[in-house]
Amino acid sequence: MITRVTHQLTARTAAQNLQASLAQLNRLTEQATSGTRISRPSDDPSGTAESLRLRGEHRVAQQHARNAQDGLGWVTVVDNAIQTGIDLIGRAKDLTLTGANGASSPAAREALATEIDSLREAMMDQANRTHGGRSVFAGTSDAPTAFDTDGTHNGVPGATVQRRIGPDSTVRVDGDGVAVFGSGTGSVFSLLTDIAADLRSGVDVTPRLAELDGRQQQMLGELTAVGTRYNRLEVAEAANEQRMGGLENRLSAVEGVDMARTIIDLKSAEVAYQGALGVSARVLQNSLLDFLR
């Protein structure tokens, strides 16, 4: 059976071929200018699904990296506060040792007591340090300060500030205010107040040296624990940054184009389209005059 080829069929076929050639040229132009071969799901359904999965993992890793970075900010403030507190106790020990000398005059002991009072104020400043508007030694409490002026701790027992730094990993980023500074009559603030009072009243402050030493050792222990958490956060931040880099490379492999190959294909498609235009212009003779020649 011979198919009848009409002028209308030829015109329709030529138009369809031109449209297909133009669509290919447009697709390659879009890829070359955007640098990606997937602009819509229909371009590559399986590639689109993989791209969405990789982007989801990237967002999670990015959030974990931000959490680790925020945690480092918290822990840095805690570390500095404890380190300063240790130094303040060291100075208090020196002053107490000086005051233990029975030959000190009342004026000298008053001067020592006054400096002890200033050390207590400085210690209170460290205990009430904040990060991002929140007390770093008050846990999840929304109290304006971690410690009242009398040394009472305002934190919620057992309620700690945590940051998720991995799919199954969290790290505490706040400081244990009670462990570091004590609370109420058992706090370092109460101890410094008692030492100043003893100096003013002429009481032997020698026994206070052991108490100061005990508090200092407690702070050193907490400082070590904070250092361990700081290291975990640093490692987690680096690991998440590395993971994001790997995911970006995989995403580029899924979505990206081989630019050199795409430019070659684009040039070929352009030549093919120009050729198709020329052929169609010669074949599609729509006027009656052209038909009668």
pLDDT at 259: 57
Alpha-carbon radius of gyration of the chain: 38
The candidate with the shortest Cα–Cα distance to 254, out of 55, 56, 59, 50, is 50
Write down the pTM of the prediction: 0.77
Q: Other C-beta atoms within 10 Å of 20: how many? A: 12
Q: What is the pLDDT of residues 183-232, one digit of tens each?
A: 999 999 999 999 999 999 999 999 999 999 999 999 999 999 999 999 99
pLDDT at 99: 92
Which parts of the chain register pLDDT below 50? 288-289, 291-292
Cα torsion angle, 53, 58, 59, 64, sign: positive
pLDDT at 285: 58
pLDDT at 203: 93
- The Cα–Cα gap between 11 and 125 comes to 87
